[in-house]
Amino acid sequence: MPCETCECPFQTIRPAQGTLADVDTECMLRDAVQPVTFGDGEMLFLEGDRSHCLYAVTDGMVKICRHGSNGREQIVGISCPERLLVGLQSINDEHYAYTAIAATEVRACKVNHRALLERVRHAGDVAMRLIDAMNAQLAHSRALMEVLGQRCAAAKIAAFILLMTPKSEHGNCRFTLPFSRMEMASILGLSEETVCRLMANLKRAGAIYAPRGKIEILDWNRLRRIAEGGAPAAVRLAG
């Protein structure tokens, strides 16, 4: 089947390597893939549901959640369209181990588990693409762990904003951060009050501008210094 995006890990030939236009967009899994879309807040799947497919996110952002015994939602991961596969951890399990919710409008390729594993057994090129996707997943998880490992609260917030920034942007960048202050607090292990206060301090420090849920990075170097622990005194004291 034709593939409309280069973000899916199962595209036959990446644009930089391709020489034949009619080959560049061919999907390696063909009939095992179904293009799907989700609106902001829609569930891709629910923790405990029967596991039968995974999703290659090609546009948008998905939040990975677990629910505690008190029913409270805890965001434990984020999936962006960098050849990441949502549901990969449950490929050999009967049920999904977490809930996946669209944090923005999402486009994805829905991949059948059984068909994917069958192709992996008989096609080494598909297996290598799956390994590449797993490596991308691990790299993204490590990046998020590095954010969480920051000792200073201001550094955590600055590093998280940088991690969420669209990679294709250059210079000043304005984008929608699809998380409330409460959700950011949940992800970063901070209080909502601390997140609100430090976001305001980052604005006063001239690093960002944040009107109505959007983020505009005004000073990349300053934001990176704060993310690395070199926060201005006003930001550091408030944390």
Query: Do the domain assignments include residue 16?
Result: no
Structure tokens at 61: 């952002």
Q: pLDDT tens for residues 150-201?
A: 779 999 999 999 988 876 555 567 788 888 888 899 889 899 999 999 999 9
Q: pLDDT tens for residues 83-107?
A: 678 888 777 788 998 999 999 999 9
Shared domain check, 136 and 159 = no
Domain stops at, among 127, 147, 167: 147
Query: Do the domain assignments include residue 45?
Result: yes
**Average of per-residue pLDDT across 145-153:** 85
Query: Do the domain assignments include residue 4?
Result: no
Give the residue ranges of DSSP H helices in the chain: 21-24, 113-122, 124-148, 153-164, 181-188, 192-204, 220-227, 233-238
Shared domain check, 153 and 143 = no
Shared domain check, 25 and 120 = yes
Using the predicted structure, report yes or no on whether residue 2 has a pLDDT greater than 80: no
Shared domain check, 197 and 91 = no
Structure tokens at 74: 């805890």
Shared domain check, 137 and 193 = no
Shared domain check, 181 and 87 = no
Shared domain check, 56 and 131 = yes
The pLDDT of residue 72 is 75
Shared domain check, 218 and 114 = no
Using the Cα atoms of residue 83, residue 150, residue 71 and residue 195 in order, give the sign of their dihedral: negative
Q: pLDDT tens for residues 116-141?
A: 888 878 777 777 877 887 888 788 88
Shared domain check, 87 and 177 = no
pLDDT tier, 49 (very low <50, low <70, confident <90, very high otherwise): very high
- Boundaries of domain holding 108: 21-147
Using the predicted structure, report yes or no on whether residue 232 has a pLDDT greater than 70: no
More confident residue, 29 or 221: 221
Shared domain check, 183 and 128 = no
Using the Cα atoms of residue 24, residue 25, residue 31 and residue 32 in order, give the sign of their dihedral: positive
Query: Do the domain assignments include residue 205?
Result: yes
Under 8 Å CB-to-CB from 127, ≥6 apart: which residues?
120
Shared domain check, 134 and 172 = no
Shared domain check, 189 and 142 = no
pLDDT tier, 235 (very low <50, low <70, confident <90, very high otherwise): low
**Average of per-residue pLDDT across 8-28:** 54
Query: Do the domain assignments include residue 15?
Result: no
Query: Do the domain assignments include residue 161?
Result: yes
The pLDDT of residue 226 is 93
* Separation between Cα atoms, residue 80 and residue 86, nearest integer Å: 9
Q: Tell me, what CATH number does 58's domain have?
A: 2.60.120.10
The percent of residues in the chain predicted with pLDDT above 90, rounded, is 27
Query: Do the domain assignments include residue 7?
Result: no
The pLDDT of residue 99 is 93
Q: Tell me, what CATH number does 210's domain have?
A: 1.10.10.10
Domain stops at, among 112, 147, 182: 147
Domain stops at, among 94, 121, 147: 147
Give how many domains the chain has, as a whole number: 2
Using the predicted structure, report yes or no on whether residue 20 has a pLDDT greater than 50: no
Query: Do the domain assignments include residue 9?
Result: no
